């Protein structure tokens, strides 16, 4: 849910989206080049419940919204309704947002995090909150980063995954028994991952084969293995073999398949599985989203899901109390509805109560709640938000 990586989330060039995604036949370097040709501004986009961040093509990173824990990385704790540059970072290729922290990866393969540091979610060996980025300890070769409620993870260039922070629900995947980690530990059995995503208390990885595995909390079947059993090591998601992207929401997850269709699993209480009904209320194995056949990018929010279509339009479904589906209503949807007035989208990132999309040729548009400035349009805090896309004021 938390991050969409531009270099990994377009059609058959999709590698990761919202912190998730996957890879098909092309080599990662080929996929990165093809997507960067389409993006002149945002190359990575991440939205969580109250703040959002974007990495720009010039290697800088900007964040906006809630900042009481320093999660915007500008050296202050002042909420911002317009994007501010993250301090001290250059060469940024990926960003991720968690509950009260953010992370980034640079071209050198280093990872950095900032914000709240309870449970050690910043990975710097301490529990000290940081208002500016701090390097994740003993980590090199990072190509993708994911941030969740109280833990974070990084995908390494060789296909392994390391995680750090809270492990109360086994979300670090290192086979230990609920042991928090202040520095990264290796996820057991992952050697060929091409993308990762994390949300709440679970984590998922996309494998080079097109399979998906998940670990951690399994409430309502969000690990997709046909059970509700918490797992401290990765388990395979049932029946997924052609995925090109994987995304995680609050209690659900979804995979974009190579044919442009989408399958989701876990909670369906707000219609976030997209099956045309809110019954059953959950599924422990993947089910097919109705009416989606040309998706090129995907993300999952707390209780909603969104895709970008091949033509540049977008659709969302699930919880809509803050108009985060972009159809200018507050009606929950169990089937996809079009995001109004949005075209030429290439990336989409769904937060808990707001959503943002990167636009081909430059720019980011957001919609939904603007309580803490998470739309990035310079509006007043605690404003009404917007049921249709508005421009985030990126440089």
Please report, for the domain that includes residue 102, its CATH number.
2.130.10.30
- pLDDT of 4 reads 52
Tokens of 158: 């060789």
Is residue 241 one of the residues assigned to a domain? Answer: yes
Task: Flag whether pLDDT at 76 surpasses 80.
Answer: yes
| pLDDT: which is higher, 39 or 136 | 136
Q: Could you give the count of Cα atoms lying within 13 Å of 91 in the half-sphere of its Cβ?
A: 9
Residue carrying structure tokens 């959002």:
52
Task: Flag whether pLDDT at 29 surpasses 90.
Answer: no
The secondary structure of 127-146 as a DSSP string is ---EEEEEEPTT--SEEEEE
Task: Flag whether pLDDT at 310 surpasses 50.
Answer: yes
What is the total count of domains within the chain?
1
> Model confidence over 136-175: pLDDT tens digits?
999 999 999 999 999 999 999 999 999 999 999 999 999 9
Q: How far is CA 72 from the centre of its chain?
A: 16
- Residue 17 — pLDDT band, cuts 50, 70, 90? very low
Tokens of 278: 């809110």
Mean pLDDT for all residues in the chain: 89
Contact 136, 144 (CB under 8 A): no
Q: Is the bond preceding residue 209 a cis peptide, omega within 30 degrees?
A: no
Residue carrying structure tokens 């091409």:
194
Is residue 279 one of the residues assigned to a domain? Answer: no
- Residue 380 — pLDDT band, cuts 50, 70, 90? confident
The CB density around residue 337, as the number of other CB atoms within 10 Å, is: 18
Task: Give residue 321's region: left, alpha or beta (phi > 0; psi -120 to 50).
Answer: alpha
The CB density around residue 332, as the number of other CB atoms within 10 Å, is: 18
Q: Which helix (H) or strand (E) holds 257?
A: strand 252-257
Task: Flag whether pLDDT at 11 surpasses 80.
Answer: no
DSSP conformational letter for 219: G
- pLDDT of 48 reads 79
Task: Flag whether pLDDT at 130 surpasses 50.
Answer: yes
Model pTM score: 0.90
Contact 348, 319 (CB under 8 A): no
Is residue 180 one of the residues assigned to a domain? Answer: yes
pLDDT (average), residues 63-74 = 97
Structural domain of 231: 4-259+347-391
- pLDDT of 38 reads 28
Helices (DSSP H) in 283-343: which residue ranges?
Answer: none
Task: Flag whether pLDDT at 221 surpasses 80.
Answer: yes
Radius of gyration of the chain (CA): 18
- pLDDT of 69 reads 96
Is residue 300 one of the residues assigned to a domain? Answer: no
Is residue 289 one of the residues assigned to a domain? Answer: no
Find, among 252, 274, 235, 150, the residue nearest to 201 by Cα.
150
- pLDDT of 349 reads 94
Is residue 335 one of the residues assigned to a domain? Answer: no
Task: Flag whether pLDDT at 358 surpasses 60.
Answer: yes
Distance CA 327, CA 306 (A): 12
pLDDT (average), residues 96-117 = 97
Task: Flag whether pLDDT at 359 surpasses 60.
Answer: yes
Task: Flag whether pLDDT at 33 surpasses 50.
Answer: no
Task: Flag whether pLDDT at 234 surpasses 60.
Answer: yes
| pLDDT: which is higher, 8 or 368 | 368
Is residue 305 one of the residues assigned to a domain? Answer: no
Task: Flag whether pLDDT at 39 surpasses 70.
Answer: no
- Residue 21 — pLDDT band, cuts 50, 70, 90? very low
The CB density around residue 30, as the number of other CB atoms within 10 Å, is: 12
Is residue 122 one of the residues assigned to a domain? Answer: yes
> Which of 1-10, 152-161, 357-366 is least confident?
1-10
Q: How far is CA 337 from CA 20, 72, 350, in A?
A: 22, 31, 15
- Residue 383 — pLDDT band, cuts 50, 70, 90? confident
Burial pattern 74-102, b for ≥16 Cβ within 10 A else e, equals beeeebbbebbebeebeebbbbbbbbbbb
> Model confidence over 323-346: pLDDT tens digits?
999 999 999 999 999 999 899 999
> Model confidence over 239-282: pLDDT tens digits?
999 999 999 999 999 999 999 999 999 999 999 999 999 999 99
Tokens of 223: 């690990």
- Residue 3 — pLDDT band, cuts 50, 70, 90? low
Burial class (CB in 10 A: 0-12, 13-18, 19+), 53: buried
Please report, in angstroms and rounded to a whole number, the separation of the first and last CA atoms in the chain: 25
């Amino acid at each position: 849910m938390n991050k969409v990586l531009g270099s990994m989330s377009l059609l058959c060039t999709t590698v990761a989206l919202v912190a998730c995604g996957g890879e098909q036949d092309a080599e990662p370097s080929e996929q990165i080049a093809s997507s960067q040709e389409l993006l002149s501004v945002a190359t990575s986009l991440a939205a969580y419940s109250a703040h959002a961040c974007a990495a720009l093509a010039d290697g800088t990173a900007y964040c906006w919204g809630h900042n009481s824990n320093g999660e915007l990385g500008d050296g202050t704790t002042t909420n911002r309704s317009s994007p501010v540059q993250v301090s001290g970072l250059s060469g940024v290729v990926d960003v991720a947002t968690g509950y009260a922290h953010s992370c980034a990866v640079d071209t050198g393969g280093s990872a950095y995090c900032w914000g709240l540091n309870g449970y050690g979610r910043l990975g710097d060996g301490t529990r000290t909150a940081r208002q500016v980025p701090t390097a994740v300890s003993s980590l090199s070769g990072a190509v993708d980063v994911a941030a969740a409620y109280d833990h974070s993870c990084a995908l390494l260039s060789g296909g392994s995954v390391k995680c750090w922070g809270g492990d109360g629900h086994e979300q670090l995947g290192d086979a230990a028994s609920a042991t928090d980690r202040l520095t990264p530990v290796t996820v057991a059995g992952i050697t060929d991952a091409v993308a990762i995503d994390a949300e709440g208390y679970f984590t998922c990885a996309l494998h080079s084969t097109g399979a998906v595995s998940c670990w951690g909390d399994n409430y309502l079947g969000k690990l997709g293995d046909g059970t509700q059993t918490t797992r401290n090591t990765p388990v395979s998601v049932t029946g997924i073999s052609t995925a090109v992207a994987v995304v995680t929401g609050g209690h659900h997850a979804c995979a974009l398949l190579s044919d442009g269709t989408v399958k989701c699993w876990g909670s369906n209480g707000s219609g976030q599985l997209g099956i045309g009904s809110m019954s059953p209320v959950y599924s422990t194995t993947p089910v097919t989203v109705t009416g989606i056949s040309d998706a090129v990018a995907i993300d999952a929010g707390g209780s909603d899901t969104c895709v970008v279509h091949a033509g540049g339009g977008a659709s969302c479904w699930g919880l809509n109390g803050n108009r985060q589906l972009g159809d200018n209503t507050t009606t929950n949807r169990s089937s996809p509805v079009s995001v109004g007035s949005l075209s030429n989208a290439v990336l989409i990132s769904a937060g808990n109560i707001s959503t943002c999309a990167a636009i081909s040729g430059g720019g980011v548009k957001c919609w939904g709640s603007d309580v803490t400035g998470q739309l990035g349009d310079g509006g007043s805090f605690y404003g009404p938000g917007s049921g249709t896309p508005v421009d985030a004021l990126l440089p």
